[in-house]
Amino acid sequence: MSSIKVLKNFLTITRHTSVAAAAREIGLTAAAAGQQIQQLEDEIGAELFDRTKRSLTLNNQGRSLIEPIQEIIARYEALGTNFKSELSGTIVLGALVSTLMGAFGKTLNELKHNYPELEIKLFAGLSSNFLDQVIDGSLDAAIVTESPYALPQHVLWTELYTEPMVLIYPNIKRKNKTADKNVNTDLPFIRFERNTWTGHLVDHAIRANKLKIKDGMELNSVEAIIELVRQGLGYSIIPKLANIAWDSDRQLVIENLPGKMIYRKVGLLERRKHARQNITLAIKQHFLRGSSKT
């Protein structure tokens, strides 16, 4: 029967359109990766991929095996964890860069300090991309904003903390420093990318407060938007990140939204069954303890 390594390699191969591309990721030659696929197919008694000379596409039979194989790997990797008093091993996490500048950055430091045998592999990216990577198993979990869409049933999102959405301006003389429904400024609005989850939230904040804006640039980075506003190139609506010294920033003016307060919810996204649930549970408990103190 195929080894756990072969099953893991199968999941890696499913994320690529060619054996060569998958082989580079798992550190095998294309021939060796192809042999592993053939071995698995022979043992199962079915073809799992549709093949052409240039591509490899997972078929319906292959797709039906992804979740059972993920569960097998999770059960195998969980062996022995009940005998360990401390967290150890490796967890592969996705995280928005803005969450590292927010409350989650402090959590990472505390986890590493409390559990020195725990290795955290961190990848930065966007919430929507992380969803696909959590589903296919290339990430154990991800720190993302709340999805504006319904999530698949086998995926779980747990809220960790919230951040108020605020207006930020460059600290220059304006005709009216009090935010109102017309946002009295001649500067263009620097918008978070519309098709991202945070971008949807910004649009909601604009509509809910009936703000009249003049669109300028569009970016998918909160930290880049902050810097452009500091330089006087526009104003924006962003989440008020926890680890930025807003009050001492002389280049920015921060104001609450003029009417309805909108909050960005940040949470942990994971499959309902996976091998690193003891670690994701520790992350969730950290925030639960923090909220109980306030």
DSSP string, the chain: ---HHHHHHHHHHHT-SSHHHHHHHHT--HHHHHHHHHHHHHHHTS--EEE-SS-EEE-HHHHHHHHHHHHHHHHHHTTTGGG-SS--EEEEEEE-HHHHTTHHHHHHHHHHHH-TTEEEEEEE--HHHHHHHHHTTS-SEEEEEPPSSPPPTTEEEEEEEEEEEEEEEESS--S--S--TT---SSPEEEE-TTSHHHHHHHHHHHHTT----EEEEES-HHHHHHHHHTTS-BEEEE--TTS-GGG-TTEEEEE-SSS--EEEEEEEEESS-TTHHHHHHHHHHHHHHHHH-
Tell me which amino acid residue 272 is.
R
The residue ranking higher by pLDDT, 173 or 236, is 236
Q: What is the mean pLDDT of residues 215-241?
A: 93
> What mean pLDDT comes out for the span 201-213?
94
Helices 127-135, 197-208: axis angle to 10 degrees equals 140
More confident residue, 293 or 195: 195
Task: Quote the pLDDT of residue 173.
Answer: 46
pLDDT band at residue 252 under the 50/70/90 scheme: very high
Domains in the chain: ranges and CATH: 4-64 (1.10.10.10), 81-161+265-293 (3.40.190.10), 164-264 (3.40.190.290)
Q: What is the pLDDT of residues 93-149, one digit of tens each?
A: 999 888 887 778 788 888 888 888 888 888 888 888 899 889 888 889 999 999 999
Over the stretch 25-63, which tens digit does the pLDDT of each residue have? 788 888 888 888 888 989 989 898 888 777 778 888 888
What tens digit of pLDDT does each residue of 259-294 get? 999 999 999 999 988 878 888 998 888 887 755 454
Q: pLDDT band for position 180 (50/70/90)?
A: very low
Q: Is the pLDDT of residue 169 over 80?
A: yes
Q: pLDDT band at 256, cuts 50/70/90?
A: very high
Q: Give the residue from 240, 244, 193, 239 showing the smallest Cα distance to 218.
A: 193
Rounded Cα–Cα distance for residues 173 and 36 (Å): 66
Q: Please, what is the average pLDDT of the chain?
A: 84
Higher model confidence: residue 110 or residue 209?
209
CB atoms within 10 A of CB 242: 16
For the cut 80, the answer to whether the pLDDT of residue 69 exceeds it is: yes
Residues facing residue 269 across a β-bridge? 142, 157
Q: What percent of the chain has pLDDT over 70?
A: 89
- Angle, CA of 147, 152 and 154, to the nearest 5°: 120
pLDDT > 90: what percent of the chain?
34
Q: What is the pLDDT of residue 291?
A: 54
pLDDT at 78: 65
